[in-house]
Structure 1
Amino acid sequence: MTELRSVYWIGGGSGAGKSTIARRLAARHGLRLYDTDGVMSDHGRRSTPETCPYLAEFIAMDMDERWLNRSPETMLETFHWYRGEGFDLIVEDLLGLPPGPGVVVEGFRLLPHLVEPLLVERRRAAWLLPTPEFRRFALESRGSTWQIAGRTSDPERALRNLLDRDRMFTDRLALEAASLGLPVIEVDGTMTENDVAERVTTAFGL
């Protein structure tokens, strides 16, 4: 889509450092930043049960129904953002931005099969894929490990479910990006923030 030719896309699993890397690239190269996590509430309000049925079902559940009473596999298959619901609203927002510099878009909602048709060059997108160990360490260092799990009746089991679900999601991203010939960068404990930023910068040809 030529209207999005100035967009750079950073997708990937939770805890991979997408937000940090996107902020660094935006500041270094004079680009606008679009955080897909930051607009989730707005997109929820702009959605309907007809356009986002999985979101409607999720909203109707209590915390135990969401994170304890279902298997991680079911959580993966029914989580609305993982299904691509609301991606059209991301595109709508981007198309509505005023003329200006390029845009760095980041977030786990950027599924490879949805982004790929919008690319004018394949090197305009990259997916950061954390190892399970790195993801757990990253979330714990942020103090966010229990933000969701701690609101259930069994936080430890809820956390295991969440981590299993997100591990499977990351594996799915890796397979999907590879099948489409899109760049992936595995993030583990041996890489510094500078290392990841440089690899993304190189992938984008900036």
Structure 2
Amino acid sequence: MNKEAGIFWVGGPAAAGKTTVSRLLARKHGFLWYSVDAHAFTHEQRAAAAGLHIMGTGPGEFDRRPMILEDVHALPMHTSVVVEGAFVTPTMAGVARNAVWLMPSREEQLARLEHRHPGGVHKDRVWGRNLVQSQLEGTSATVIVVDGQTVEQTLTAVEQSFGTTLESSPAARTTEDRQSLIRISNRQLAKQATERLQSGHTKDNGHHAVYAFDCECAHPTCNELVDLTVEEMRPLLAQAAPSVVSPEHSNLT
């Protein structure tokens, strides 16, 4: 497939809702959800192998765009992709109609972060918001202010921004193809979880650390997540999809 065709970019800082909205957008329209964050370690390894990065020195400043396009080009089916993450910048994604940034005010972000992690230290995430804001200044990028919005309202705003392109873009049409796309994303999440465990980033919880996987029922309106530990996810993902299914949706598979 054309490396540039059918890619929708969603950026923004922590607690902007970009992951939730991107997952739902992909499910609804039969696209692949591609989390840049879930590919972070893999990208670091590839950058290090190319002499662009030194492993163990943080996320790095190398250009992730060629790696993302390479991953998209390698997909086993012709479909569109929703690429999301804090690393999505105007330089990476461009500022055409296929790219949006979800932005909370500082107060909104802090409220959401506190709701998510009560009593946590949020200064790094606030710094990240300021960084994203600085990247957007002086550009014609499409920014959606998410203050006071529900997830459904933000999803609608993103769909309106992308316009009719959503309906004309290549997508998975059958349940089996939709399940295959969700499985690709779930496998990457599992890989990330395993890498975090091996690197010691989850040493406090170890194999008991819980990760949220997409329900593989593949129904377009499904918004269910399945919480699994590393030990639980391995045998499930070794089975054919759909094996990661919310109990509420087991009758849909």
TM-score between both structures, scaled by the size of structure 1: 0.69
Which residue of structure 2 aligns with residue 127 of structure 1?
A: 101
CA distance in 2, matches of 1:145, 1:99: 44
Q: Provide the identity percentage.
A: 29
User: Take 1:90 and 1:6, find their aligned partners in 2: how far apart are those partners?
Assistant: 13
Aligned to 2:144: 185
Give 2:134's aligned residue: 172
**1:111-167: per-residue Cα shift (whole Å, max 9, x none)?**
101211xx8xx2111111121122222222222874xxxxxxxxx5xx43x144223
SS in 2 for 1:48: helix
CA distance in 1, matches of 2:129, 2:8: 25
Give the corresponding residue for 1:40: 40
Q: Distance in 1 between matches of 2:160 and 2:87?
A: 23
Larger radius of gyration: 2
Q: Which runs of 5+ in 1 are unaligned?
A: 59-78, 147-155
Secondary structure at the aligned position of 2:97 is classed as helix
1:94 matched residue in structure 2: 72
Listed one character per residue, the Cα deviations across residues 47-106 of structure 1 (whole Å, up to 9, x for unaligned) are 3183125x6533xxxxxxxxxxxxxxxxxxxx62xx454333222212221232211111
Deviates more, 1:40-49 or 1:24-33: 40-49
Checking the alignment, whether the CA contact within 8 Å between 2:19 and 2:85 is kept in structure 1 is yes
Displaced runs of 4+ in structure 1, greater than 6 A? none
Paired residues in the alignment total: 163
Q: 1:15/1:5 Cα in 2 relative to 1: closer, same or farther (>3 Å)?
A: same
Conserved? CA contact 1:19–1:106, under 8 Å: yes
C-alpha contact (below 8 Å) 1:4/1:95 kept by paired residues: no
After superposition, the Cα gap between the structure-2 partners of 1:195 and 1:99, relative to the gap in structure 1 and judged at 3 Å, is same
Assess, with a 3 A threshold, how the Cα gap between structure 1 residues 144 and 42 changes in structure 2: closer, same or farther.
Answer: farther
Gaps of 5+ in 2: 167-253
Q: Does 1:105 align with 2:83?
A: yes
Contact 1:52 1:86 in 2 (8 A): no
Residue 2 of structure 1 and its aligned partner are, at CA, apart by: 4.3
Rounded to whole Å, the distance in 1 between the matches of 2:32 and 2:150 is: 24
Give SS of 1:201's match. helix
More relative contact order in 1 or in 2 (CA 8 Å, sep 6+)?
Answer: 1
Q: Using the alignment, how far apart are the partners of 2:62 and 2:90 within structure 1?
A: 10
* C-alpha RMSD of the superposition: 2.5
> Could you tell me which of 97, 113, 117 is aligned with 1:139?
113
Q: Which has the higher helix share?
A: 1
